[in-house]
Structures are given as structure tokens and as C-alpha cells.
Chain A
């Protein structure tokens, strides 16, 4: 069964460091998303990406965040200068075509701990 894969599964970093979270969406999918879940809280939308550009971003997704699809297979989330409050589980998700058909596939998440 096809799946969305994320690396690393857990990363610990010092405040102020740059972090890149990587995702490999399912190969024929066209829509990509990042979501964030602070421990014990709900899952929140960060950004959606289609046709090599951001299609929507939330107010959480400020200038410290960026996304990229560098090589047609990976989809990355970069946090330029991490803050304590960036500690969370980050989920990548992908969708095959029209976002309103079929299932949104989530990866297993990358847990980021900022010290």
C-alpha cells in the first residue's frame, strides 16, 4: 500500500537552529500539506502546496517557515530559527488530485523538540 514517509521521526534541536523536516509524498499525488500538533492539542493546518507553489497558508506559517519541493519527490518544511514553541509533531499529507476526491494520506509524523 502506498504511503507518505517522513524523516526524521524525532529531532531534538537547540533554540535558534534551523531544522528541515522531510516528506516523500505518494508518487502520483499532486497536493501536499503540512500540519502541526502541539502536544496534547489539536492538529492545525500550516500550509498547502500545489503546482510548485503555496496555495494557502495559515497565520502560524510565518516568515520563519518555508516549504519546498526540490526534486519532484521530496517535500520539505524548513524552520529557519527554531523557538521553544515550535516543539510539536509535524505531519505531512498528500492528496492525489482534486482535494475533494479520495483520502488525504498522512505520514507518521516528525516530532520536533526544541530545547
Chain B
């Protein structure tokens, strides 16, 4: 069965601190995709990144970076120099290769205090 685990329920940091959100997944598929979404208080799901299982290169986009480690089935997300606007719930998700449906983790609530 496919499963995504985000063990950190809530994280609180002070502005400008770096923060890493953990994501561990389970799948029997050899080909799959991993995602991160941000859900601000307004409720919409904001796409952050999509990574396929064959590409283990780390990715950096501004203050955001992602570390994909297939050996440990992890896809962690780091925000550098956090800002108050980063406060949101962050979801990691795994896509089913056959159907494209997403399996979401429980989410991590990030609070960045000024």
C-alpha cells in the first residue's frame, strides 16, 4: 500500500530561522512522483514542486530546497531564512503511477513568528 508520513504535526520557528519539514513515503512502484503543496490560511492548495523517482538531484528554488533520498524513501523540504508569510500547512504527496491520484501526508503546520 502507498503511504506518506509527515511525522511533524506542528513546527514553530522565529523569522529568519531555517526549517526542515520531513516526509517519508512507502510505495511498491518503481516509478512514482512526489509533491509538496502549501496550504495557507485561505485554504487553497499551492503547488510547490513535483519530482519523479528517477531524479534524485536536490532542487533549490529561492529560499526553498528539497532533498530526495530514494534509499531512505524521504523527500524533505527546507525553507531557508523563514518569513512570516511562510506560515501555512505543508503537505507532502505521492502519486500513483497508474492513475495519477495523489496520496497526501497528514501535513505539517508551520508557524513562523516575527
Contact = CB atoms under 8 A, between A and B. Distances in A.
Interface stretch (A18-26, A39-47, A62-70, A71-79): A39-47
Contacts of A98: 100
Contacts, number: 57
B106 A104 contact: no
Interface residues of B, number: 23
A43 B91 contact: yes
A104 B94 CA distance: 12
Per DSSP, chain A at the interface is strand
Q: Give the interface size class of chain A.
A: 20 to 34
Given A100-B33, A103-B50, A43 B45 contact: yes
Contact of A99 (B44, B95, B103, B104): B95
B78 to A, nearest CB: 21
B99 interface: yes
A55 interface: yes
Interface in B41-90: 43-45, 47, 50, 52
